[in-house]
Amino acid sequence: MMEIDHWAVVDDLAARRCAKTFGIQTIGTGGLLILAKRRGVIKSVKRRIDRFRDAGLYLSESVIQLLLSEAGK
């Protein structure tokens, strides 16, 4: 049987919990940004975070600092 490796991009905690009950792997917007930076798809996580915030996405300062730390800015 072929194993399928897919991820659902989900930020909502309730949706993440629901996905987990069905065995669906999830990644949030922040995790996706870090992955994109590590793979060389984007140069700056901070720039993307700033753009998301400008568009109305709420991220706490502690989450932003964690993401920047993980991404190495």
pLDDT value for 10: 92
| Closest C-alpha to 68, from 60, 13, 7 | 60
Rg (CA), the chain: 14
Residues 6+ apart with CB under 8 A from 34: 45, 67, 70, 71
Show me where the domains of the chain are located: 7-71
SS3 content of the chain, % helix, strand, coil (to 5): 55, 10, 35
pLDDT at 5: 75
Q: What is the pLDDT along the chain (73 residues), one digit of tens a residue?
A: 556 578 899 999 999 999 999 999 999 999 999 999 999 999 999 999 999 999 999 889 999 999 999 988 6
DSSP 3: P
